[in-house]
Amino acid sequence: MTKTTGSRAGKSSGRGQRDLRVRVKTAKGRKLSSKLWLERQLNDPYVARAKREGYRGRAAFKILELDDKYRFLLPGARVVDLGCAPGGWCQVAVQRVNALGEKPGKAVGRVVGVDLQEVDPIAGAEIHQLDFLSEGADEAVKQWLGGPADVVMSDMAAASSGHKGTDHLRIVALVEAAAALAFDVLEPGGTFVAKVLAGGAESEMQAMLKRNFTRVVNVKPPASRSDSSEKFVVATGFRGRSAEAEDDPRLA
C-alpha cells in the first residue's frame, strides 16, 4: 500500500508544488531492503520513462547515453549484446543501427542478443539462448551476424555474493571473458562496451583493452544510479586480432 507525503490535497508545499515522492509502508513480513528497493523503483524517473517509451528496463538509457556521446551504434552496424536479458540494450541497438530498415536511405544493421536464459522476442533482433563462454560461441555469433561484429556490448553482472571485493573480482573476470570473445568476433575498428564495478582490481583488464583498442575510456552515464559503484568501459578502434598476439603468441 502506498501513500504520498508532503502537503495535503489542495495545499502547496514551500517549493510551489506538492511533494509527490512515493513512500512505501513496511508490510508485515517485508524486509526493509525490499521496501527500499520498491520505493526507489517507484520514484525513479528512468523507470517511469522506460515504461512510457516501451523499453524493458531503465538500463536502456545507459546505452542510449553512452551512444549519444561516443556514436558506435551507427546505421548498418552489426551488434552483439552479451547477457542481453531482459532486452533493453537490444531494443536501443535495433533503433540505432536501423535493424528494421525504418530509416530510408540508411544502411540496415543486424542485432544479435545472447543470454543463458530465454528472452522474449524483440522485433529487429535475433535472440539466442547461449553460454558465450562455451566452445564455438564466437563462430556461432559471427554466423548469426553474417560476418564480424562492429560492436560487442555487455551489461552483465555476476550474481551478488554480498561481499563487495568478491563481487568486484567476479565482474572483472566476466568483463575479461567478454573482451576475449570480442577479440574473436570484432571487425578492426570495432567497439567494445561493458559494465564494470569500481574497485581497483581492474588494472590488468584495462591494460589489456588499451593494447587492443586505440581509445579506452571509463564513464558513468547519468542513468547510472549515483549510489551504484558501476561504471562502463568504452573501447573504440579495435586494432585487430594480431595486437593481442604480440603479447601472447598462442593467440596468433
Per residue in 32-45, pLDDT tens?
A: 555 544 445 455 67
Asked if residue 176 and residue 141 are part of one domain, the reply reads yes
> Do residues 191 and 178 touch, judged by C-beta distance below 8 A?
no
Summarize the annotated binding site as residue ranges.
87, 89, 115, 131, 155
Per residue in 192-235, pLDDT tens?
A: 999 987 765 578 889 999 999 999 999 999 998 777 788 999 99
Query: Residue 92, SS3?
Result: helix
Grid cell for residue 158: 555476476
Asked if residue 200 and residue 80 are part of one domain, the reply reads yes
Instruction: Give this prediction's pTM.
Output: 0.78
CATH code of the domain containing 216: 3.40.50.150
49 inside domain: no
Q: How far apart are CA 18 and CA 62, in angstroms?
A: 30
**pLDDT for position 229:** 80
Asked if residue 13 and residue 106 are part of one domain, the reply reads no
Query: Confidence class of residue 169 from pLDDT cuts 50, 70 and 90?
Result: confident
Asked if residue 232 and residue 117 are part of one domain, the reply reads yes
Asked if residue 100 and residue 204 are part of one domain, the reply reads yes
Asked if residue 13 and residue 118 are part of one domain, the reply reads no
Domain hosting residue 29, numbered range: 2-43
Asked if residue 26 and residue 65 are part of one domain, the reply reads no
48 inside domain: no
User: In the annotation, is 195 catalytic?
Assistant: yes
Q: What is the mean pLDDT of the chain?
A: 82
> Do residues 235 and 191 touch, judged by C-beta distance below 8 A?
yes
State yes or no: pLDDT of 140 exceeds 70: yes
Residue 9 to residues 2, 4, 18, 25, Cα–Cα distance (Å): 16, 10, 8, 20
- Options 35, 195, 210, 220, the catalytic residue: 195
Cα–chain center distance at 139: 22
Q: Which of 242, 217, 67, 25 lies closest to 151 in space, CA to CA?
A: 67
Residues in the chain: 252
50 inside domain: no
> Do residues 191 and 236 touch, judged by C-beta distance below 8 A?
yes
Asked if residue 84 and residue 16 are part of one domain, the reply reads no
Domain count, the chain: 2
Asked if residue 84 and residue 21 are part of one domain, the reply reads no
Asked if residue 111 and residue 135 are part of one domain, the reply reads yes
Query: Residue 49, SS3?
Result: helix
